[in-house]
A and B are shown apart, each in its own frame.
Chain A
Amino acid sequence: MNLFCVGVSHHTANVSTREQFVGNATAESIASGVGCTEALVLATCNRVEVYAVSEKRISTDEIARCLMARKNCSPDSYVSPFYRYEDQKCVQHLFRVASGLDSMVVGESEIFGQAKKAYESARTSGAVGPYLHRLFQRAFRVAKQVRTHTDIARGAVSVGSVAVELAQRIFGNLSECAVLVLGAGETSERTARALVSRGVTDLRVSNRSIERAHDLAQAVGGRAVPFDNWAAQCREIDILLTSTASDTSLLTCDILAPMLRERLDRPLFIIDIAVPRDVDPGVNEMEGVYLYDIDSIRSVAEQSLVLRRQQVAAAEAIIAHHVTEFVDSISRGLGRASQMVERASLGENPLRASQL
């Protein structure tokens, strides 16, 4: 029984190469096309991989042809970016993929959901048998363990997620936080949505164009505030998210100082993603004010990535343990199965595939 993985990913090919292999083949078509006993296709924006089990050896070229089935392209041009892992290496590769170690952004969790979806799809079509079932179930378990026992998924790596993470480190529960979104840009909207998804209910939107403020407020479940009145809101709010196109600083120490005296025991978190900046950098020196501009948010995202990379060794150790255990359990299963085959040939119990 051969277990193998053939694929192309962001490590080996650019997007124009990868996109040639997406959506052309299903697990079923691979299984029937090349004669595999079991097959599964994992296709994401960063990778297209085929996991398969076969009685005889199937070449990388055959799999690549299947993935390219509907394209008119010479075979030489697509075989080169493919990699191939077999047996133990294949198990290890899948565990790394599911845990987010092979992802472009190390530790991202989207791949876990995509792997689950690919597994469900292949299982429904009947292309997954007992071998891949056990392999993928174990991969999901390993991925969960890696996330729980290391900091591989810690820290945020996008503007929205950094803002949410920092807000949670300051306020804890965000459900009682009041947020003012100043400027109705696309990043503001995404960040506001991220904050709402973490429990924010009091969301106010202010923009020079009141219509745009109303539109965004409606889209994110907040309320519009006249632009003339935005500064006064700083007495009540906990988080200010600003991204206007103003050429000068809208919020300075002089404006904020009298308001801070009234809210000395409550921190104010300001996310300034505007360029040029809407908030005077000196505001960060004020007591209880935490100001993050676009550069400091990027810096936090980079620190998170460094932190995640530091966790790779710990994650690899967990994976190595599971690979050994999984390979051993499969070998024992095959050993038992071959004994049963012998007994079956002597007229004892019939061998069932599921017993593998």
Chain B
Amino acid sequence: MDRYLLIASTICFLAAVVHTGFELRTGVFRPMRFNFLAIGLGFILQTAFLSLRGRELGRCPITNLFEVFVFLAWSVSLIYMLVGPAYRLSLMGAFTAPLVFLLQGFALITPIDARHPVNVRGNSWLEFHASISLVAYGAFALACIAGVMYLLQERQLKTHHLHSIFYHLPPLTNLFAAITRLLWWGFGLYTLGILSGFFTGHPLPRIQVVAAIALWILYAAILQARHLKWLAPKRVAALCIIGFSVALALLWGITFTAELHPMP
């Protein structure tokens, strides 16, 4: 039953992707309403899936790579629902939907939904640590998406070749402000996630700790360079994309090692 909910949710995100592609082809781009509705419905179905899975497991549903990917996709949608309309970044949905679709699609088609025997009572600190870290990843993902939008807009302005999408992308300064806010949100949540990791009562695998701290240092360096105006906005945008790619790779590694060395 829960898998059907996830399939339905993935179809919603696919609909947003197809709709965007179709509108871009016809040149009549009205991203706000349909994309927001499709992503909103997809988000509700994701939430229902995670809720059912969580009830079944008796804990936060991030016990294997499949659940981690779905939780990450849910975090991306959540941050988009909070940030997209608030900052009037209407086109962000068009960029968010493909990422969520890929994450969920990958989770659905690969055999990574392995059920591990878990302690029903769980460990609340560990669950808090994992879930808050994944929500932080959601914010980093949105910063990455805003970075892609920034580079796209910047490229068009530099080369003087303006496509239909140019008129729907937010202004450069607004995009950069959104990137900075998302980085701060992600960094704050990630810091909280790392700190809570020390209260789990169990020694975390050394590789996980090193990887998590390396990622924290990377984002801290980006924010510091941004704060001290050492980096131009274009480089910050590019670093957001690199940062999230590194974060995804590390997430894979962390989850993989966690599956090898499961904790109660």
Residues of chain B lying within 8 A (CB to CB) of residue A290: 157-158
- Asked if A151 contacts B173 (CB within 8 A), the reply is no
| A171-B160 in contact given A155-B167, A264-B229, A307-B27 (Cβ < 8 Å) | no
CA distance A300 to B173 in the complex (A): 21
Interface string of B138-168 (1 = CB under 8 A from A): 0000000000000001000110111010110
- Asked if A264 contacts B28 (CB within 8 A), the reply is no
CA distance A234 to B158 in the complex (A): 19
CA distance A188 to B27 in the complex (A): 33
Nearest-neighbour CB distance to chain B for A253, whole angstroms, equals 15
- Asked if B233 contacts A170 (CB within 8 A), the reply is no
Q: How large is the interface on A (under 10, 10 to 19, 20 to 34, 35 or more residues)?
A: 20 to 34
Nearest-neighbour CB distance to chain A for B33, whole angstroms, equals 12
Residues of chain B lying within 8 A (CB to CB) of residue A14: none
Residues of chain A lying within 8 A (CB to CB) of residue B231: 264
Residue among B172, B173, B234 having the largest count of chain A Cβ atoms under 10 Å? B173
- Asked if B28 contacts A292 (CB within 8 A), the reply is no
Interface string of B171-185 (1 = CB under 8 A from A): 111101000000000
Residues of chain B lying within 8 A (CB to CB) of residue A288: 232-234
Of the residues B26, B167, B174, contact of A172 by C-beta under 8 Å = B174
- A12 interface contact, C-beta 8 A: no
Residues of chain B lying within 8 A (CB to CB) of residue A169: 153, 157, 166-167, 169, 171-172
- Asked if B171 contacts A151 (CB within 8 A), the reply is no
Q: How large is the interface on B (under 10, 10 to 19, 20 to 34, 35 or more residues)?
A: 20 to 34
CA distance A264 to B233 in the complex (A): 8
CA distance A304 to B160 in the complex (A): 12
- Asked if A310 contacts B27 (CB within 8 A), the reply is yes
- B170 interface contact, C-beta 8 A: yes
- A89 interface contact, C-beta 8 A: no
Residues of A261-314 whose CB lies within 8 A of B: 264-265, 267, 284, 287-288, 290, 292, 296, 299-300, 303-304, 307, 310-311, 314
Residues of chain A lying within 8 A (CB to CB) of residue B30: 149
- Asked if B26 contacts A314 (CB within 8 A), the reply is yes
- Asked if A267 contacts B164 (CB within 8 A), the reply is no
In the complex formed, the residue of B with least CB distance to A263 is B229
CA distance A300 to B219 in the complex (A): 37
- A residues sitting closer than 8 Å to B (CB atoms) are 149-151, 154-155, 166, 168-172, 264-265, 267, 284, 287-288, 290, 292, 296, 299-300, 303-304, 307, 310-311, 314
Interchain residue pairs with CB less than 8 A apart (18) = A149-B28, A151-B28, A154-B167, A155-B162, A169-B157, A170-B157, A172-B171, A264-B229, A264-B230, A264-B232, A267-B172, A267-B233, A290-B157, A296-B160, A300-B160, A303-B161, A303-B162, A310-B27
